[in-house]
Amino acid sequence: MQQPAASSPAPVDFEVEPEHYRHWSVAYDGAIARVTMAVDPEGGLREGYELKLNSYDLGVDIELADIVRRMRFEHPEVRVVVLRSGIDRVFCAGANINMLGQSTHAWKVNFCKFTNETRCELEEATGASQQAYVAACNGTTAGGGYELALACEEIYLQDDGNSAVSLPEVPLLGVLPGTGGLTRLVDKRKVRRDRADVFSTTAEGIRGKKAKQWRLVDDVFPRSKFDEKVAVRATALVQRYSKDLPAGERKGVELTALAPEVEGNDRRYRHVALEVDQTARTASLTITGPTADDVAILRRGGEAAQQAGAELWALRAYRELDDALLHLRVNNPTVGLVLVRAKGDAQTVLDHDAALVAARDHWFVREVLLHMGRVLRRMDNTSRSFFALGDRGTAFAGNLLELALAADRFYLLDDSSAPVHVGLGELNEGALPMAHGLTRLQTRLYGEQDTLDGLVGNRALLEPSAADDAGLVTVLLDDIDWDDDVRIAIEERVSLSPDALTGMEQNLRFAGPETPESKIYARLSAWQNWIFIRPNATGPEGALTLYGRPERPSFDWQRV
């Protein structure tokens, strides 16, 4: 995901502090927060483009992702978040076209993926954290700008004769709305498919009462009363999203900086280590599990967990894992295979998970569990091969077993002198679902219901042979074969086409049913990986390449 340039661009940093936001501001008023988008035109993450009309690049969205996450952990008192623009007559013009035009294919695809993950986290905040997002569209709401609005619970459009919502990618750029726009139109807002067809091919968009009639927005308000009407609606939503809250004031938890040690491409956090071998095109991703002290904190209940705050193992370790995954995606594009290890004691991990589940009624613990689930889904959607290596000293149990179940293969050492145990806990049975709604255990054993039934509820640590018999292991190796067989598997994997592997993995990882979220990611992979390299979009005479120029695009008219 690097940009073409004479020298390598600086690595992208996914940590940001609110005092360093360049494009967003947040104001809090009791149960209502107002998030204002006023993109700095000169604040692009890379040189060579200007972020006009509240258009955005990855840097803008990194800040938004930070806002959404901090809103959930640091401001649990907030029930309604109003997203609005700080620019008159413009809400958001979407992804910056010049940025897309000069970006590599990998950058475009991963940019869309990260943006989608932010939108999904925003939607989860509404559905699971009782923080409803409202889009106050006071002007041009185009492309990714409308897709941001679509991620909100309600959308309100200024009715002034000019303000419109639009998805102009097909008629103007020869591509598709890359952050779930089409899926959210028909699956979420229930827009009729024929109307969605007209809307998505009408470059100027739809405004006023017609936008409301077609369910593209929830209501339209005149310019003179727009802010007032949105405020009334936000107040009403506060009541809806407060009625089921337990009594008592929620005190937020500050998300402190992770501050990893960085040496070249390697990153060492407190609980996670990422080591990159550029020559071999592999990376080692190791997470160290919880200790007995971490278990003791959780056994004292939700209040004790909240007092531990951002240092709680389950929160800090998964924040570190999340950051490491993003660095793998964006700053290490040639790494093809990630070797995953989980260090620690398997029984301690299971004890930790049991204590976490026991405290899950507390709002903070619930948010920690939701965050763990989001990070694991980030891993599911990362276009890298993952091999989990269960050698000596590893503890693939409970929440850490999810890493092995998310991996494309799980190699386990069978050494009677130092057995490596595998264990299932309650977190493997529904608390950390994949994007398509199934657990990773259900996905692993899809079609093997009897085997699955025999595992659910089993809290005993499994010997390697038993874990293999239960279908949890891909390859069981004895001590004699381990080094050679694992080495050969690694060498074989990195020799294969990365494009073929991305397609294969995306197909194989999501066995079973679909949900709107899984559709978004699956279609993103298929649509954007294909359309972004077609000459009709990105060739010398493609629509995206020539956007803003006087020349008209030249299309290959063959349907393929």
Q: Could you tell me if 266 and 328 are in contact, meaning their C-beta atoms sit under 8 angstroms apart?
A: no
The sign of the dihedral angle between the CA atoms of 57, 59, 60, 64 is positive
Cβ contact 150:184 at 8 Å: yes
- Asked if the structure places residue 529 within a domain, the reply is no
Per-residue pLDDT tens digits for 496-525: 999 899 889 988 999 999 999 998 888 776
- Per the structure, the complete domain to which residue 191 belongs is given by 18-240
- If asked whether residues 289 and 435 sit together in one domain, one would say yes
pLDDT of residue 460: 93
Same domain, 276 and 343: yes
pLDDT at residue number 247: 55
380, 329 Cβ separation under 8 angstroms = no
Structure tokens at 411: 């190699």
Residues 430 and 503 occupy one common structural domain: yes
Question: Does residue 349 contact residue 400 with C-beta atoms inside 8 Å?
Answer: yes
Residue 519 in any domain: the answer is no
Whether 381 maps to a domain, the answer reads yes
Q: Are 461 and 422 in contact (CB under 8 A)?
A: yes
- Same domain, residue pair 230 and 295: no
Q: What is the pLDDT of residue 524?
A: 77
Question: What is residue 310's DSSP assignment?
Answer: G
Apex 94 CA angle, 88 and 100, nearest 5: 135
Token output for 403? 């890493």
Q: Is residue 344 part of a domain?
A: yes
Asked whether residue 428 is assigned to any structural domain, the reply reads yes
Whole-angstrom distance, CA of residue 241 vs CA of residue 80: 8
Q: Do 298 and 208 have their domain in common?
A: no
**Is there a contact between 340 and 402 (Cβ–Cβ < 8 Å)?**
no
Whether the CB-CB separation of 49 and 59 falls below 8 Å is answered with no
Give which of 39, 32, 293 is closest to 145, Cα–Cα.
39
Predicted confidence at residue 248, as pLDDT, reads 60
User: Is residue 86 domain-resident?
Assistant: yes
Do 68 and 154 fall within a single domain?
Answer: yes
Give me the amino acid identity at 46. R
Structure tokens at 30: 């009791």
- For residue 244, the model assigns a pLDDT of 66
How far, CA to CA in Å, does 44 sit from each of 23, 187, 243, 330, 332?
Answer: 10, 33, 42, 16, 21
CATH number of domain containing 378: 3.90.226.10
CA angle 203, 206, 211 (to 5 degrees): 150
Output the pLDDT for position 548: 87
Report CA dihedral (436, 440, 441, 445) to the nearest 10 degrees: 70
CA distance 382 to 379: 5
Does residue 255 lie within any of the structural domains?
no
pLDDT in tens, the chain (560 residues): 334 343 467 899 999 999 999 999 999 999 999 999 999 999 999 999 999 999 999 999 999 999 999 999 999 999 999 999 999 999 999 999 999 989 998 899 899 999 999 999 999 999 999 999 999 999 999 999 999 999 999 999 999 999 999 999 999 999 888 889 999 999 999 999 999 999 999 999 999 999 999 999 999 999 999 999 999 999 999 999 987 666 566 889 999 999 999 999 999 999 999 999 999 999 999 999 999 999 999 999 999 999 999 999 999 999 999 999 999 999 999 999 999 999 999 999 999 999 999 999 999 999 999 999 999 999 999 999 999 999 999 999 999 999 999 999 999 999 989 899 999 999 999 999 999 999 999 999 999 999 999 999 999 999 999 999 999 999 999 999 999 999 999 999 999 999 899 889 988 999 999 999 998 888 776 776 688 888 998 899 999 898 888 999 999 888 87
> What confidence score (pLDDT) does residue 3 get?
41
Split into its structural domains, the chain has a count of 2
In terms of pTM, does the model score above 0.85?
Answer: yes
Same domain, 183 and 306: no
274 and 233 in one domain? Answer: no
517 lies in a domain? Answer: no
What was the pLDDT predicted at 80?
Answer: 97
Whether 151 and 185 map to the same domain: the answer is yes
Burial tier of 47 (Cβ tally within 10 Å: 0-12, 13-18, 19+): exposed
DSSP 2-37: PPP-SSPPPPPP----GGG-SSEEEEEETTEEEEEE
Same domain, 186 and 42: yes
269 and 185 within one domain: no
Distance from C-alpha of 206 to C-alpha of 212, rounded to nearest angstrom: 9
For 310-345, the pLDDT digits (tens) are: 999 999 999 999 999 999 999 999 999 999 999 999
- DSSP codes, 377-395: HHHHT-SSEEEEEE-TTB-
Same-domain check for residues 461 and 408: yes
CB of 434 closer than 8 Å to CB of 377: yes
The pair of three-digit structure tokens given for residue 170, joined into one six-digit string: 């097909």
In this prediction, residue 2 carries a pLDDT of 39
pLDDT of residue 45: 95
Spatial separation of the C-alpha atoms in residues 509 and 436, rounded to whole Å: 10
- pLDDT tens by residue, 447-500: 999 999 999 999 999 999 999 999 999 999 999 999 999 999 999 999 999 989
| Domain end residue (candidates: 207, 240, 273) | 240
Domain boundary among 508, 532, 550: 508
